[in-house]
Amino acid sequence: MKRLHYFGSRQSFVETLKEEFYSLVESNQLEIHNGSIEDLNDFTFNEDTSASTIILDISPLDDLLAPKVCPSLLMLQEENQLTHTKIILAARKHPTIEQLGLYHSCGVHSYYIWGGDEKLFFRTILELLDQDPPDITEFATLNKIDSTIPCWFPASFRNISSKMSNIESSIALPLMEKTEIDGGLINDLGLRKISLSQEKNTDKPYYYPYQYAFHTPIIKHNQGLTQNDLYGEKVSKSHFEEVINTHGKNFIQKMNTIWAFGPDRKIKRISKLLDIESCSVVHWFKTFNEVKDVTHLELPDLIFLNIDDPIADQKHENEKEGFKFEEIPQLIALIKRQTNFSPIIIILNSPSHSLALQQVFQYEKLMAFQQKMTREVLIGIIDKYNHSFTTPLTYSSSQFVKVDSPDRIFWIKKELTLDRLNEDSIEFFYEGEIPPMTWIHVKLPCELSLVVTKSLPQKPAPEKMTAYKARIMGLQGLQESFLRIFINLCYDDPHEAFSQIDRYIKRAQLSLETVEGNKDENYNKAKSN
């Protein structure tokens, strides 16, 4: 059974999905479910499935919802919930280049911008469900282009330190060779090329972790100087600290150890989200009995207690899970028996306020809140706690990058040889292996985001190169119109056009301006009539 899960607020779109897809796929072969973005945190598969697709619709509040989606996806990845699942992000506006890399690092396979070609969107969904999509009108296609253009693959930092930074790449990279890179934080540090000094072992497929030390020799981009002139320069201590502190809000200096008590799976999920979102080590317990012997446990900086609801307790008298209010003195006694140990205790769903409980239990580091344990409440408390320890970031310390921060992302510059191009997809040659569902960004003939769908082993390719097919993502509006005009201009002789690409791009831009100008003129005439 194949499944399609929509998380978002467009109920009318869900009905359109059902109408469209149940006309193509038998209802006993495909299930369509829907829920809110918040429901993603409770999402789980009851059984393995050969093909499932999730549509995450973060519109119309893209900027607000995007940071919430990233930790949730990483949590589901860690739980192996997404092994057989493809993820499509639907948004109101086109993501920035940094956001694109961020979404890819969290496991998003494709994205769609509302207002784009809906038929192509449905086609993408069907392909990700391993269904044969219906034929659509063939696009005008440029063939035998044979033009080499720059391209960029996403990569990300897990942490940043002058001594050793952990990097995750979407493609395999050579060790001890200079790799050209680009990105916001990377650019601010003055880096243009890095040499990866060590590779860590991993059992994950299509996952390439590396390490890089900022104090090793690098090559900086500086007009008028050759690479040999610049080899051996480093990121200076003062410059490193200046840049890192400018971006300080996107880093976490302190990795906390947290205990969280709660009886149900929902609170366990919240604990996992905290683990990812706050770069903390979170231990989840169902009952106080699990921590009575602390010799085998890592002592916490923070303890969160979600006090059981007495009314709910009466309904489940036989269940012994959960933290009882009367167990707080036992917990404090356990704390006081340890040497140099005084964690902050946060009581949620509390029947009383902080000052009263501090006096009753004779423990100053205790805070009480009436709210129940939720992701938002806990993250807010942890952020305030971390802020109290904030000090200037240093050259020698290791800074953990927040999972929803664009500072995690940089791009690896490579080259591909373009062979075919239309409004839907491209075919190209590349020297090296590209895993399926890898994203690529190109800037010629315009800014395009691509997702590699498959290799083409039967297609003749230049020596040492492999042929690949990639689908264009998020094409809409003026970008779509420009690409259509450009393809029509180059149709007679694509190879010649790409050899003079700047001239053809300018012609396409002028044609687009004329078309848009005529639209405005016709609109104004119609309005005046």
Percent of the chain exceeding pLDDT 90 equals 22
pLDDT exceeds cutoff 80 at 308: no
- Residue 494 confidence (pLDDT): 93
pLDDT exceeds cutoff 80 at 219: no
pLDDT exceeds cutoff 60 at 228: no
The answer as to whether 214 is a domain residue is no
Instruction: State the CATH number of the domain containing residue 287.
Output: 3.40.50
pLDDT exceeds cutoff 90 at 63: no
- Residue 124 confidence (pLDDT): 83
Q: How many domains are there within the chain?
A: 2
Percent of the chain exceeding pLDDT 70 equals 81
CB atoms under 10 Å from CB of 226, counted, come to 9
Instruction: State the CATH number of the domain containing residue 56.
Output: 3.40.50.2300
Q: What is the mean pLDDT of residues 288-299?
A: 81
The answer as to whether 517 is a domain residue is no
Separation of alpha carbons 470 and 453, rounded Å: 5
Whole-number average pLDDT of the chain: 80
pLDDT exceeds cutoff 80 at 211: no
Q: What is the dihedral of CA 508, 511, 517, 521, to 10 degrees?
A: -150
Write out the residue range of the structural domain in which residue 320 sits. Answer: 257-374
pLDDT exceeds cutoff 50 at 217: no
How do residues 9-53 score in pLDDT, each as one tens digit?
Answer: 998 888 988 888 887 777 677 888 888 888 887 777 655 555 688
- Residue 313 confidence (pLDDT): 46
Q: With cut-offs at 50, 70 and 90, classify the pLDDT of residue 145.
A: very high
The answer as to whether 279 is a domain residue is yes
Query: Who contacts 33 (Cβ-Cβ below 8 Å, separation ≥6)?
Result: 3, 4, 5, 6
Of the three residues 92, 109, 128, the one that is the final residue of a domain is: 128
Q: What are phi and psi of 96, to 5 degrees?
A: -70, 170
Q: With cut-offs at 50, 70 and 90, classify the pLDDT of residue 231.
A: very low
- Residue 265 confidence (pLDDT): 64
Separation of alpha carbons 521 and 518, rounded Å: 5
pLDDT exceeds cutoff 80 at 201: no
The answer as to whether 245 is a domain residue is no
- Residue 45 confidence (pLDDT): 64
Q: With cut-offs at 50, 70 and 90, classify the pLDDT of residue 431.
A: very high
pLDDT exceeds cutoff 60 at 205: no
How do residues 147-163 score in pLDDT, each as one tens digit?
Answer: 999 999 998 887 777 77
How do residues 460-493 score in pLDDT, each as one tens digit?
Answer: 999 999 999 999 998 888 888 899 999 999 999 9
Q: What is the mean pLDDT of residues 335-343?
A: 88
The answer as to whether 325 is a domain residue is yes
Q: What is the mean pLDDT of residues 208-221?
A: 56
The answer as to whether 263 is a domain residue is yes
Q: With cut-offs at 50, 70 and 90, classify the pLDDT of residue 519.
A: low
- Residue 420 confidence (pLDDT): 94
Nearest to 369 by CA among 360, 379, 381, 361: 381
- Residue 516 confidence (pLDDT): 74
pLDDT exceeds cutoff 70 at 117: yes
Of the three residues 358, 374, 390, the one that is the final residue of a domain is: 374
Of the three residues 341, 374, 407, the one that is the final residue of a domain is: 374
DSSP labels, 412-469: EEEEEEEEEE-SSEEEEEESS---TT-EEEE-SSS-EEEEEEEE-TTS---TT-EEEE
How do residues 75-113 score in pLDDT, each as one tens digit?
Answer: 888 777 777 788 999 998 888 888 888 888 888 888 999
- Residue 365 confidence (pLDDT): 92
CB atoms under 10 Å from CB of 167, counted, come to 24
Q: What is the mean pLDDT of residues 286-310?
A: 81
Most confident region among 122-131, 315-324, 401-410, 449-458 by mean pLDDT = 449-458
Cis peptide before 329 (omega within 30 of 0): no
The answer as to whether 38 is a domain residue is yes
Q: What is the mean pLDDT of residues 283-298?
A: 82
- Residue 297 confidence (pLDDT): 79
- Residue 133 confidence (pLDDT): 62
Higher-confidence residue: 281 or 175?
281
pLDDT exceeds cutoff 90 at 293: no
Q: What are phi and psi of 189, to 5 degrees?
A: -75, -10
How do residues 239-275 score in pLDDT, each as one tens digit?
Answer: 888 888 888 778 776 667 888 887 666 677 777 787 7
Query: Who contacts 453 (Cβ-Cβ below 8 Å, separation ≥6)?
Result: 127, 425, 436, 437, 469, 470, 471
Q: With cut-offs at 50, 70 and 90, classify the pLDDT of residue 422.
A: very high
The answer as to whether 316 is a domain residue is yes
Q: What is the mean pLDDT of residues 203-229?
A: 50
- Residue 134 confidence (pLDDT): 59
